[in-house]
Amino acid sequence: MAFVAQAPAAALMAMGMLVMPPALAQQRIVTLSPSLTEAVCALGRCAALVGTDRHSSWPESVHRLPQVGGLADAQIENIVLLRPDLVLLGPRSRAEERLQSLGIPVQKFDARTHADLKHTLLALGRVLGEPARAAELVRRIEDELQAAARRMPPALRGRSVYVEVGGISSAASAGSFIGETVAALGLVNIVPADMGLFPKVNPEMVVRRAPELIIAPQSSAQGMADRPGWSEIPAVRQGRICLLDDARMDLLSRPGPRVGEAARMLVDCLKALPAIPH
């Protein structure tokens, strides 16, 4: 995936990103998505934030802001009290129609892939009056991804990987944002894109495809080897499981400006695993 510093307005419109004049969104912003909170701050506009969703956790300064719910339970009354010039929403938020009916400007973004992230950052840069900063951020992300890929040991490139994202049967496919990050490091995802972004997979399929590496939340560690047949999976048998705590799982899963940092984190985790036999 190549991040490019320009995106045609027609492409942004097709993604539902109706770019507002910058003057409409200069002072008071509420975000209802952690990745959008991070994007606003990466574009130098953290000081304009007056509220966020409950899951926003980066940068540290956002912890001091009022929290106004999440995707399914945005606190409309509390948002109104914050007098926002603009509310930024993710694609599955239920708050859009209600907020618009109250006369509050709303912008919705849907970043499911690396290409979507590029378009989101460029569009948001226009909305916030920071187009040059957005273009530079897009270039920096590409540089960071390439630098992380160069740090991957040759012995790991081309190896098969299974990425578990929650529970015994939820995976990140090759077509997901996480899957694209993994692919940028030269790994081959055993869950194909045609299964959907985050499909439920049959544990027996994982056994059959025998991944050499596994990336998973720490909560998956307990009992993984006890799953039927899993003790024979090369990654499990040889201890090549990259276990991520909540903060690192958030970093990996959020389609935001820290994707390069997520890639570096994965490389560090994978390099620390036992070597793959020749």
Q: At the top level of CATH, which class does the domain 153-271 belong to?
A: alpha beta
**DSSP code of 275?**
P
- DSSP character at residue 20: P
Distance of CA 175 to the CA centre of its chain: 13
Q: What is the pLDDT of residue 5?
A: 39
Look at residue 223 in the predicted model and tell me its pLDDT: 85
Tell me what pLDDT residue 222 has: 81
Q: What average pLDDT does range 59-84 have in this prediction?
A: 94
The residue with greater pLDDT, 259 or 18, is 259
For the cut 50, the answer to whether the pLDDT of residue 25 exceeds it is no
Q: Are 51 and 82 in contact (CB under 8 A)?
A: yes
pLDDT value, residue 162: 98
Weakest mean pLDDT among 177-186, 218-227, 254-263: 218-227
pLDDT for residue 18: 47
The residue among 118, 113, 76 whose CA lies nearest residue 93 is 76
Q: What is the pLDDT of residue 26?
A: 58
Strands 160-166 and 29-31: unpaired
Residue pLDDT, tens place only, 211-254: 999 999 998 888 899 999 999 999 999 999 999 999 999 999 99
Q: Is pLDDT at 99 greater than 60 in this prediction? A: yes
> In the predicted model, what is the mean pLDDT of residues 112-129?
95
Separation of alpha carbons 50 and 48, rounded Å: 6
User: Taking the chain, what is the end-to-end CA distance rounded to the nearest angstrom?
Assistant: 30
CATH number of 9-142: 3.40.50.1980
Mean pLDDT of 38-65: 96
- For residue 10, what pLDDT is reported? 39
Q: Do the Cβ atoms of 136 and 158 come closer than 8 Å? A: no
Name 212's Cβ contacts closer than 8 Å, sequence gap at least 6: 159, 160, 161, 234, 235, 240, 276
Q: What is the mean pLDDT of residues 4-31?
A: 53
Kindly tell me if the per-residue pLDDT of 13 is higher than 90: no
Q: Which of 264, 267, 260, 262 is nearest to 252 (CA)?
A: 262
| 253 vs 4 pLDDT, higher one | 253
Q: How far apart, in whole angstroms, are the C-alpha atoms of residue 192 and residue 190?
A: 6
13 or 139, greater pLDDT: 139
At 4, the pLDDT band (50, 70, 90 cuts) reads very low
Angle between helices 34-42 and 114-127 (to 10 degrees): 60
DSSP 204: H
Averaged pLDDT, 58-67: 96
Nearest to 159 by CA among 234, 208, 213: 213
> Looking at the predicted structure, is the pLDDT value of residue 186 above 80?
yes
For the ranges 94-98, 126-130, 187-191, 231-235, which has the lowest average pLDDT?
A: 94-98
Q: Is the pLDDT of residue 160 over 90?
A: yes
User: How does the average pLDDT of the chain come out, rounded?
Assistant: 90
Which residues of the chain does CATH 3.40.50.1980 include? 9-142, 153-271
pLDDT at 72: 84
Single-letter amino acid code for the residue at 162: Y
Q: Shortest CA distance to 24 belongs to which of 123, 129, 94?
A: 129
